């Protein structure tokens, strides 16, 4: 599908900060929107006016409330951002005829399966965050015809704190950490997801898609693999059960995604690419 102007919300977030330069490098005219340029908690009229002025052909909605545990006590804010703002943005995109891309999450599932979730599997979120993102999906699907809902999982990237950063910092400081052995999914590097988003949004195959790196791993085994790939000792990592961590939000115990025929790297390959990027930034 041919288009030139692409708007990216959440342009300074973990995904958006990499997606914007990725799309620019391909040759798109990218309208990078952060909270200062587009207040997603504003009125419908404000958002309509902003999109009408810029008139993007594609809107990639990467902005989200992603603080999984904090959402349990800030449910109203999580819903306002992930559900209500998505609805307003979808309506504004519809008004100008823009294709809408909504980045969603594996947390829309309950984790009761033992094999990767298909796009047609019924969502059943078990946390406020998961529910808010699922409501966002419903807003998009109910309001639009030309849309892509792209679910991803266990995302990590260079620009924001994430699980990989946490493990690396703990290893370097010799800090003992407990990691769950009974939570399974697929780590996904933002670099992989940027490529997947571009492939999907130019495919013409409207609807729901899954986009993660390939393979299934426990959080504990992911943590040890991170240390080993970085040349650090994993001796500080202590195995435990998820319930022992007593986190405010319940996580799906299994949330790997079936990505169909989408070309995706193994999560271990993507991790190596990320670590090269990470170390090059440290050196510079």
Positive/negative CA dihedral, 188, 192, 198, 199 = negative
Q: 130: part of which helix (H) or strand (E)?
A: helix 128-143
Q: SS3 for 251? A: coil
Q: List C-alpha distances in Å: 258 to 153, 255, 267, 268.
A: 11, 10, 14, 17
Contacts of 108 (CB under 8 A, 6+ apart): 123, 124, 125, 130, 133, 134, 137, 151
Residue of 129, 148, 156, 254 marked active site: 129
**Crossing angle of helices 219-229 and 267-283, rounded to 10°:** 50
Positive/negative CA dihedral, 137, 19, 206, 152 = negative
Residue 129 appears among annotated catalytic residues: yes
Distance, in Å, from the CA atom of 86 to the CA atom of 79, rounded to the nearest integer, reads 10
Across-strand partners of 245? Answer: none
φ, ψ (nearest 5 deg) of residue 93 = -65, -40
CB atoms within 10 A of CB 69: 14
Please list the active-site residues: 129
């Amino acid at each position: 599908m041919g288009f030139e102007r692409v708007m990216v919300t959440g342009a300074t977030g973990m995904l958006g900060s990499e997606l914007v330069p990725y799309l620019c490098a391909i040759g798109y005219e990218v309208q990078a929107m952060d909270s200062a340029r587009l207040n997603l908690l504003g009125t419908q009229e404000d958002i309509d006016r902003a999109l009408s002025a810029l008139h993007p052909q594609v809107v990639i909605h990467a902005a989200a409330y992603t603080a999984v545990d904090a959402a349990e006590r800030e449910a109203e804010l999580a819903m306002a951002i992930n559900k209500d703002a998505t609805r307003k943005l979808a309506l504004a995109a519809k008004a100008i005829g823009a294709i809408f891309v909504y980045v969603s999450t594996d947390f829309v599932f309950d984790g009761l399966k033992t094999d990767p979730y298909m796009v047609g599997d019924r969502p059943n979120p078990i946390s406020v965050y998961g529910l808010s993102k699922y409501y966002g999906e419903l807003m998009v699907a109910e309001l639009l015809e030309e849309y892509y809902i792209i679910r991803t999982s266990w995302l990590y990237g260079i620009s924001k704190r994430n699980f990989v950063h946490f493990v690396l910092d703990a290893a370097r400081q010799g800090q003992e950490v407990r990691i769950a052995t009974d939570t399974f999914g697929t780590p996904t590097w933002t670099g992989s997801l940027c490529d997947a988003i571009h492939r999907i949004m130019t495919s013409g195959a409207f609807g729901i898609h899954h986009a993660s790196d390939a393979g299934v791993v426990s959080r504990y085994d992911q943590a040890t693999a991170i240390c080993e790939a970085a040349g650090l000792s994993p001796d500080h990592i202590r195995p435990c059960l998820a319930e022992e961590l007593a986190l405010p939000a319940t996580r799906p115990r299994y949330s790997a995604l079936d990505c169909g025929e989408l070309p995706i790297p193994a999560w271990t390959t993507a991790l190596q690419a990320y670590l090269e990027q990470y170390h090059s930034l440290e050196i510079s």
